[in-house]
A and B are shown apart, each in its own frame.
Chain A
């Protein structure tokens, strides 16, 4: 554990130094320089700090009931973490609902550990050291345990199939003051906003590369961000109202993108600018 923390701290320093280099790289404003920067980021990932904290939380007795996540079933059996994320979202008969990882974690916190729902949802997205998010740390740990595992969400399961189709409709749903849909920015190859490359999520390859690299440590925010956060912030920029954490729409869209990523090796938590 200590070596993991030390490595993560070293990675954090490297990321900070790189953030300084980033402004110089941006000044040159060439895609080559940005590509080099992104490559350099891969050398060390502060996400390991979140993974380590999440692992401790996963194993420790928590909540009013003082029970750990050992009895939490992420789909592969109580307490089984290895490979679980590669098969999420999935339909859970106990909750009678398709759930993504974050929603399932909240479910276990409420039904097993005894937290109230509002307590479990208190810090869904962290804000630096002032408001650290347990859910982000837990998500970092659980996802790290699927690294290298091929994505395999069960699209032939009827509930999942339905959510996939609903998510597809949402992906193309135009609305708001600016007429934006997910597809506005993520429907074509080789596009960017300012200098930020945009994945084409309508192509399998693009969806695979994008989906398998969330959660990610965002250098610009100094935070580890989950897929729920990714969707929430995309809709903010779409000028939509706020996507509710763990809502059916958030899970449908996740099911759609995870389904399209099927077959690709999961490669997160990653690091992004």
Chain B
């Protein structure tokens, strides 16, 4: 049932995409497209691979390309829908169906900003750096504000299967809900392991987690 729905949604998205390609050609001047292409080429020749940060990090997938192109102006609704659908289709779930891990480990992952910078040791586990952008537990006062407060995430939404599933999906691929979100796609880009995502989900949805006190 679910698969059929996804297929129909993807087919619909493909039609919308085709229609948009026409519209899009009119909307963005060829000159502007030329600047984008030259900027991308300029970047390729201006960066050098260092450690784990290789030059392919500059290659954009379709989501990155569209979000760059429409940045700074309103994202047309059909483009936003296309991005959401494409990203929703990437979400994978644990084979054992277990979405919730240990909130204490989740807190450690939320605190850590290590990982994927050329200055980081690639052998060390990466963090999710949640606190860089979100408020979570009330004990941690050093939190950023690029993303919304997640304090009482589970308490406010209810400790349901739906909430747990949403938390998993959002961490796995935030673009499936908010096209051109500022939040990294932790699952799709393998920033976090399956177990790490479980642990961060626990931090958000476990009734015993300080986030929900």
Contact = CB atoms under 8 A, between A and B. Distances in A.
B14 interface: no
Given A188-B146, A243-B46, A248-B45, A173 B39 contact: yes
A179 interface: yes
Contacts of A194: 131-132, 142-144
A158 interface: no
Interface residues of A, number: 44
Contacts of A181: 67-68, 71
A175 B35 CA distance: 17
Contact of B118 (A173, A174, A236): A236
A188 B48 CA distance: 29
A191 B182 CA distance: 12
B91 to A, nearest CB: 16
B146 A241 contact: no
Contacts of B60: 173-175
A240 B47 contact: yes
> What range describes how many residues of B lie at the interface?
35 or more
Contact of B46 (A184, A190, A196, A249): A249
Contacts of B19: none
B142 A26 contact: yes
23 contacts: A165-B35, A166-B35, A169-B36, A169-B40, A170-B43, A172-B68, A173-B60, A174-B65, A175-B59, A175-B60, A175-B64, A179-B67, A181-B68, A183-B72, A193-B132, A193-B146, A202-B72, A241-B50, A241-B57, A242-B48, A244-B48, A249-B45, A252-B39
Given A166-B35, A247-B45, 19 more contacts: A173-B39, A173-B68, A175-B60, A178-B184, A179-B175, A181-B67, A181-B68, A183-B71, A187-B72, A188-B146, A192-B145, A193-B144, A194-B144, A198-B146, A236-B53, A236-B117, A241-B48, A241-B118, A242-B49
Interface of A: 26, 29, 165-166, 169-170, 172-181, 183-185, 187-188, 190-196, 198, 202, 235-237, 239-244, 247-250, 252
